[in-house]
C-alpha cells in the first residue's frame, strides 16, 4: 500500500487501533479487508466501506456495511471518527480518488492507496516498510493558511485588474461589445454563471471573468473550466483562468489524456501555494 501523509507505519503492540474505512466495495476492497484482518500488527479497525454506487449503501460486505457513497465521505469520517481512508483501485477511477481526497481535505485523516492504476500519482516520497509491504510518505496537502492566502490573492489581483481595465471596459461597450453569460460546473458539480464579452476588443473578452473571481466563483489559478452538463463530470477543485492542466496542455499543444490531467491535478493539490500559483501565472503569460 501507499500512504499519503500521516503517522509512521511502525507501531508498538500497545498502540491504539486506528479506525479506517475502505473506499471501494468490490473484489479489491474485500481483498484489502482480508489482508488487514490477517495482520494484527497493522493495528487497524475497519469500520466499513464507502463506495461510488448508491445501490451498494447498506449492503453487508464480508460482515461490514457499506456506509455511504464517496459524496458523503466527509460525514462518515466525522461520525465514525476515522483516522485512515484506504482506497481500492478496482472500484474507483483516478478522478474519483482525487475527488474523495478533495472532499476529505481538512479532516486530518491519513490517505492510503493500494498500488494499481494510481501508481503514477505518487511523488516526493520516502520509503518506509512493514515486512514486504512498501509504504511511501507523501507531502501533505495545502492547509487552511495556504487556502486563505490564495483567496486573498484572488481578491487583490481581481480588484486591481478591474480598476485598471475600467476605462477600456467602458470603451469596449461603446464600440459594440456585449456581456454574455455561460454556465460552468463548480467543484461540487453545480452550475454557476460567469460572464464574458462578445464582440468588441479581443483582449477584453475575459475581463468580466475577474468579477467572478472577486465573488469566489472562479480563481486566477485553478482547475480547467468545464461547461455545466447534467452528467457527473466536473472539476475537482475551483476552476481558474489558468492552471497546471491548462499550462501543460498549451505546452504539449494537444488535449491531455485523463491520466495526465489526474497527475497534474494531484501534483497541484499537493503543492498548492502562492509561490506555485505565481509560477503558473508567469509561465502562462510568457
**Model pLDDT, residue 131:** 36
- Cα gap 15→219, rounded to integer Å: 43
Q: Pick from 91, 111, 138: which residue ends a domain? A: 138
Task: Judge if 131 and 188 occupy the same domain.
Answer: no
Under 8 Å between Cβ of 45 and 108: no
Phi, psi of 243 (to 5 degrees): 175, 175
**Model pLDDT, residue 235:** 83
Under 8 Å between Cβ of 259 and 94: yes
Task: Judge if 112 and 167 occupy the same domain.
Answer: no
What is the CA angle 260-265-267, rounded to 5?
A: 95
**SS3 track for 194-205:** EEEEECCCHHHC
Counting the structural domains of the chain, the total is: 2
Task: Judge if 127 and 189 occupy the same domain.
Answer: no
Task: Judge if 39 and 163 occupy the same domain.
Answer: no
- Cα gap 25→239, rounded to integer Å: 31
**Model pLDDT, residue 100:** 82
**Model pLDDT, residue 174:** 94
**Model pLDDT, residue 139:** 44
Residue-wise pLDDT tens for the chain (286 aa)?
A: 544 444 444 454 555 788 999 998 888 888 888 888 887 777 889 999 999 889 889 999 888 999 999 889 999 999 999 998 888 866 677 677 777 887 887 788 888 876 554 443 443 343 333 333 333 333 456 677 888 999 999 999 999 999 999 999 999 999 999 999 999 998 877 899 999 999 999 999 999 999 999 999 999 999 999 988 766 677 878 999 999 999 999 998 888 888 788 888 878 887 888 999 999 999 999 8
Task: Judge if 122 and 170 occupy the same domain.
Answer: no
Task: Judge if 153 and 184 occupy the same domain.
Answer: yes
**Model pLDDT, residue 70:** 86
**Model pLDDT, residue 103:** 80
Domain enclosing residue 192, as ranges: 144-285
What is the value of pTM for the model shown?
0.66
Task: Judge if 277 and 184 occupy the same domain.
Answer: yes
Q: Pick from 138, 156, 185: which residue ends a domain? A: 138
Residue of 240, 217, 256 lying closest to 94 (CA atoms): 256
Q: Residue 252 carries which DSSP code?
A: H
Q: Pick from 138, 167, 190: which residue ends a domain? A: 138
Task: Judge if 76 and 31 occupy the same domain.
Answer: yes
Task: Judge if 21 and 88 occupy the same domain.
Answer: yes
Task: Judge if 259 and 126 occupy the same domain.
Answer: no
**Model pLDDT, residue 57:** 92
Amino acid at each position: 500500500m501507499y500512504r499519503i501523509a500521516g503517522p509512521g507505519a511502525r507501531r508498538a503492540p500497545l498502540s491504539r487501533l486506528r479506525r479506517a474505512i475502505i473506499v471501494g466495495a468490490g473484489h479489491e476492497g474485500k481483498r484489502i479487508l482480508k489482508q488487514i484482518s490477517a495482520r494484527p500488527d497493522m493495528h487497524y479497525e475497519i469500520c466499513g466501506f464507502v463506495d461510488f454506487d448508491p445501490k451498494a449503501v447498506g449492503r453487508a460486505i464480508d460482515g461490514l456495511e457499506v456506509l455511504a457513497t464517496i459524496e458523503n465521505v466527509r460525514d462518515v469520517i466525522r461520525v465514525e471518527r476515522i483516522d485512515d481512508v484506504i482506497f481500492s483501485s478496482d472500484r474507483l477511477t483516478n478522478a474519483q480518488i482525487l475527488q474523495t481526497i478533495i472532499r476529505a481535505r481538512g479532516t486530518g485523516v491519513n490517505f492510503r492507496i493500494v498500488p494499481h492504476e494510481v501508481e503514477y500519482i505518487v511523488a516526493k516520497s520516502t520509503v518506509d516498510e512493514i515486512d514486504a509491504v512498501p509504504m511511501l510518505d507523501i507531502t501533505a496537502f495545502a492547509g487552511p493558511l495556504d487556502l486563505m492566502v490564495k483567496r486573498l490573492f484572488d481578491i487583490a489581483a481581481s480588484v486591481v485588474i478591474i480598476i485598471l481595465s475600467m476605462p477600456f471596459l467602458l470603451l469596449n461597450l461603446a464600440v459594440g461589445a456585449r456581456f454574455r453569460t455561460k454556465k460552468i460546473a463548480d467543484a461540487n458539480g453545480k452550475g454557476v454563471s460567469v460572464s464574458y464579452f462578445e464582440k468588441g476588443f479581443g483582449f477584453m473578452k475575459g475581463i468580466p471573468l475577474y468579477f467572478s473571481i472577486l465573488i469566489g466563483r472562479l480563481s486566477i489559478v485553478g482547475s480547467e473550466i468545464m461547461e455545466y452538463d447534467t452528467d457527473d463530470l466536473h472539476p475537482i477543485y475551483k476552476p481558474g483562468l489558468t492552471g497546471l492542466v491548462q499550462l501543460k496542455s498549451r505546452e504539449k499543444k494537444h488535449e491531455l489524456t485523463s491520466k495526465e490531467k489526474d497527475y497534474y491535478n494531484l501534483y497541484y493539490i499537493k503543492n498548492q501555494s502562492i509561490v506555485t500559483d505565481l509560477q503558473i501565472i508567469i509561465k502562462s503569460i510568457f
